[in-house]
């Protein structure tokens, strides 16, 4: 599993309030502030905020099912020098965003917290040097796409709220060329757009599930020891049976700390 969404929700303000690298780097005051560890260049590259909410589409749980990030850049802000490559955009895909080179803008990035869809990691061959086959299987479950479309509509409504309008923000209204057969901004269009510009958050988990020995899908036990292999543990995000309701960094740090304590206990190493 992984947290995954879309980068299609982009707004353009008419005031200099976004993380525009051209404007920020061309101001020597910002450079001097950065050397002191201060100012906009010392921030986390435009990652301004996050929030979670529940759409209510999944009646089997009361957990929040969507997270949104406010990123104060657009996919085209640097003209394709860096950001587009981190998103694996080819020239055709980047054509939509190139006109935003050097312009003020921000992205409201919605993504699913608890996808029903699951992917697979399998062996490509018997040669250990061959890379594995990774099939993410994003949005395979229909409920995931329904949740994603609801999150998109909420994100657009948020971007058009008075809190962003005071900066002159307007939705970047340029439909994707690859989704021309759909009426723009209908549910069918958004499904196409989500599959076209899928935005992974790099929160991959659940390939080495922790569980009891009676679970055929379990790889490690409650002490993170791999079943059937002596002296081997897995201590990372892959042992999560399911995704957490938010970014995985804190959970992975906790797993690492707990794994270290378990190893010290087994070796009777003194702990505080």
Provide the annotated active-site residues.
203
Q: Distances in Å between the alpha carbon of 46 and those of 11, 40, 82?
A: 14, 9, 14
Cα–Cα–Cα angle for 256, 1, 202, rounded to 5 degrees = 65
Closest C-alpha among 65, 138, 77 to residue 107: 77
Q: What pairs with residue 47 in β-bridges?
A: 71
Alpha helix segments (H runs only) across the chain: 21-25, 28-35, 83-86, 91-94, 142-159, 162-165, 187-196, 249-266
3-state secondary structure of 229: coil
């Amino acid at each position: 599993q992984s947290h995954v969404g879309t980068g299609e929700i982009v707004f353009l303000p008419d005031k200099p309030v976004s993380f525009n690298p051209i404007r920020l780097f061309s101001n020597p005051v910002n450079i001097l502030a950065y050397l002191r560890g201060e100012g906009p260049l010392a921030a986390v590259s435009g990652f301004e905020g996050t929030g979670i909410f529940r759409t209510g589409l999944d009646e089997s749980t009361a957990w929040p099912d969507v997270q949104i990030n406010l990123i104060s850049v657009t996919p085209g802000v640097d003209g394709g020098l860096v950001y587009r490559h981190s998103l694996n955009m080819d020239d055709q895909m980047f054509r939509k965003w190139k006109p935003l080179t050097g312009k003020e803008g921000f992205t409201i990035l919605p993504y699913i917290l608890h996808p029903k869809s699951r992917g697979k990691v399998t062996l490509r061959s018997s040669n250990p040097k061959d890379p594995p086959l990774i099939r993410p299987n994003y949005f395979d479950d229909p409920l995931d796409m329904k949740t994603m479309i609801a999150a998109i509509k909420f994100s657009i409504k948020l971007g058009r709220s008075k809190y962003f309008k005071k900066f002159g923000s307007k939705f970047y209204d340029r439909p994707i060329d690859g989704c021309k057969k759909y009426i723009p901004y209908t549910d069918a269009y958004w499904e196409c757009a989500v599959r076209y510009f899928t935005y992974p958050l790099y929160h991959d988990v659940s390939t080495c599930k922790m569980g009891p020995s009676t679970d055929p899908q379990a790889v490690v036990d409650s002490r993170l020891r791999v079943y059937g292999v002596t002296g081997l543990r897995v201590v990372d995000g892959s042992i999560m049976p399911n995704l957490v309701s938010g970014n995985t960094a804190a959970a992975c740090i906790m797993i690492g700390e707990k794994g270290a304590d378990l190893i010290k206990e087994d070796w009777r190493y003194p702990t505080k």
